[in-house]
C-alpha cells in the first residue's frame, strides 16, 4: 500500500510539474524573445520547462513516507500499513499537489530575479548580441546631429 501511495504521488507530481512546465515554456518564449536574442531565449525556455519538471517532482513526491516504511522494523510495518486510511491518502495527495506547486513557485521567483539581473547586465555591458533587435535599437547611441549635447547626455556618454 505504501508503495502504491508513493507511485501515485510521484505520478501526480510528475503530471502537475509537466503541465506547469508546458505553461511556463509557452509563456516564457515570447517574453524572453522580446528582450533577448531568439536562440538564447528558446534555449532558456526549454531549460525552464525541464527544470520546472525536475523541481516539481522533487518537491512533490512523497519519498519520506516510503523511507519511513522501509526503515521501520519488520514488526511495525503492518501497523504502518493499517494507518493508510482513505483520509490519509487524500491528505497525502493534497500535500503532493500543493508541495509541487510551491516548489515550482519558489523556482520561478529565483529565476525571475536571475533573468532580471541578466537583462540588466546585458544592457550595461557591451554584449549587445544577447539582446533582441528592439533592445539594441533602444540602447544604440543617437546621431550627434539629431540631439544637441546637453550636460545630461555628456554624463551618459
User: Is the residue at 155 inside a domain?
Assistant: no
Q: What is the pLDDT of residues 114-152, one digit of tens each?
A: 988 887 877 777 666 667 777 777 766 644 555 555 665
Q: Is residue 93 part of a domain?
A: yes
Task: Give the pLDDT confidence score for residue 141 in this predicted structure.
Answer: 61
Asked if residue 98 is part of any domain, the answer here is: yes
| 3-state SS, residue 36 | strand
Give percent of the chain above pLDDT 90.
34
The pTM of this model reads 0.70
Q: How many Å apart are CA 56 and CA 23, to the nearest integer?
A: 13
Out of 60-64, 92-96, 142-146, pick the least confident. Answer: 142-146
Number of domains in the chain: 1
Which has more confidence, 57 or 152?
57
Q: Is residue 157 in some structural domain?
A: no
99: domain range? Answer: 2-136
Look at residue 156 and tell me if it is in a domain. no
Q: Is residue 108 part of a domain?
A: yes
Question: Residue 36 pairs with which residues in a beta bridge?
Answer: 131
Q: Count Cβ atoms below 10 Å from residue 136 Cβ, excluding itself.
A: 14
pLDDT of residue 148: 58
Sign of CA dihedral 95, 101, 106, 107: positive
Q: Give domain status of residue 24, yes or no.
A: yes
Q: What confidence tens digit (pLDDT) does each residue in 14-27 have?
A: 999 999 999 999 99
Specify if 42 maps to a domain. yes
Amino acid at each position: 500500500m505504501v508503495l502504491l501511495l508513493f507511485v501515485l504521488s510521484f505520478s501526480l507530481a510528475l503530471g502537475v510539474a509537466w503541465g506547469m512546465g508546458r505553461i511556463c515554456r509557452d509563456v516564457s518564449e515570447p517574453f524572453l524573445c522580446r528582450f533577448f536574442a531568439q536562440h538564447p531565449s528558446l534555449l532558456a525556455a526549454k531549460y525552464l520547462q525541464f527544470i520546472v519538471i525536475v523541481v516539481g517532482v522533487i518537491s512533490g513526491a512523497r519519498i519520506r513516507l516510503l523511507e519511513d516504511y522501509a526503515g521501520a522494523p519488520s514488526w511495525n510495518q503492518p501497523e504502518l500499513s493499517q494507518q493508510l486510511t482513505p483520509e490519509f491518502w487524500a491528505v497525502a495527495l493534497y500535500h503532493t499537489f500543493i508541495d509541487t506547486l510551491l516548489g515550482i513557485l519558489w523556482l520561478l521567483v529565483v529565476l525571475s530575479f536571475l533573468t532580471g539581473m541578466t537583462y540588466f547586465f546585458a544592457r550595461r555591458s557591451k554584449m549587445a548580441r544577447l539582446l533582441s533587435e528592439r533592445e539594441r535599437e533602444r540602447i544604440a547611441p543617437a546621431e550627434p546631429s539629431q540631439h544637441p549635447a546637453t550636460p545630461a547626455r555628456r554624463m551618459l556618454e
